[in-house]
């Protein structure tokens, strides 16, 4: 009586997560959570569905409290596919613990948000691959051209720690 868990909160304390995931996955999951690498597709008192953006991909995570009190979980990543409680599960569980979900909470659609994150990530990778092939002189011209069209960011670049550190080094 009353011993059956009613909410994921009853079965996903930080200690539970550490036990389920093991130390390594727990710590990686905590880093993803701290860096806010997740979005919820939906959550309520007994279930959550979310996405975690790892270094190169987004993985879909599901965690559910079953009627018998067991936890059912899945993640699309390699560890998740062999049924480990992976770092992405830890991240989503920690994010869930931050909020107060009850049985009436609605599921929201966050797929658009995650595809925006992916797009920005892909653009950055493509741009890096291109810029790495450009010689130094050409690179300077590209940045100057960009600075002419975006003076505000050009000023920011002049003032940036990164640039001033480099200039001190070369003097």
Residues forming contacts to Zn ion in the complex (CB under 5 A) are 59, 75, 77, 80, 86, 88
Tokens, residue 16: 């539970």
Nearer to Zn ion by Cβ, of 28 and 105: the residue is 28
> Is the Cβ–Cβ distance between 51 and 60 less than 8 Å?
yes
Least distance CB 1 / Zn ion (angstroms): 36
Least distance CB 154 / Zn ion (angstroms): 41
Phi, psi (rounded to 5 degrees) for 103: -60, -20
Nearer to Zn ion by Cβ, of 20 and 77: the residue is 77
Phi, psi (rounded to 5 degrees) for 160: -70, 145
Question: What is the maximum alpha-carbon separation in the chain?
Answer: 75
CA distance 106 to 21: 28
Least distance CB 84 / Zn ion (angstroms): 8
Nearer to Zn ion by Cβ, of 65 and 86: the residue is 86
What are the DSSP calls for 122-150, one per residue? HHHHHHHHHHTTS-HHHHHHHHHHHHHH-
* First-last CA distance in the chain: 75
> Is the Cβ–Cβ distance between 63 and 41 less than 8 Å?
no
Tokens, residue 90: 């830890």
Least distance CB 86 / Zn ion (angstroms): 3
Least distance CB 112 / Zn ion (angstroms): 22
């Amino acid at each position: 009586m009353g011993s059956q868990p009613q909410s994921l909160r009853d079965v996903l304390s930080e200690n539970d997560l550490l036990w389920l995931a093991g130390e390594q996955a727990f710590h990686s999951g905590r880093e993803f959570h701290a860096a806010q690498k997740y979005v919820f597709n939906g959550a309520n008192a007994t279930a959550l569905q979310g996405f975690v953006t790892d270094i190169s991909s987004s993985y879909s995570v599901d965690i559910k409290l079953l009627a018998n009190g067991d936890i059912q979980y899945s993640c699309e990543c390699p560890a998740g596919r062999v049924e480990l409680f992976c770092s992405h599960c830890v991240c989503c569980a920690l994010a869930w613990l931050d909020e107060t979900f009850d049985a009436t909470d609605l599921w929201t659609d966050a797929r658009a948000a995650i595809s925006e994150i992916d797009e920005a990530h892909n653009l950055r990778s493509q741009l890096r691959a291109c810029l790495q092939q450009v010689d130094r002189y050409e690179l300077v011209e590209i940045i100057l051209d960009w600075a002419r069209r975006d003076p505000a960011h050009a000023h920011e670049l002049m003032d940036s720690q990164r640039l001033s550190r480099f200039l001190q080094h070369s003097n």
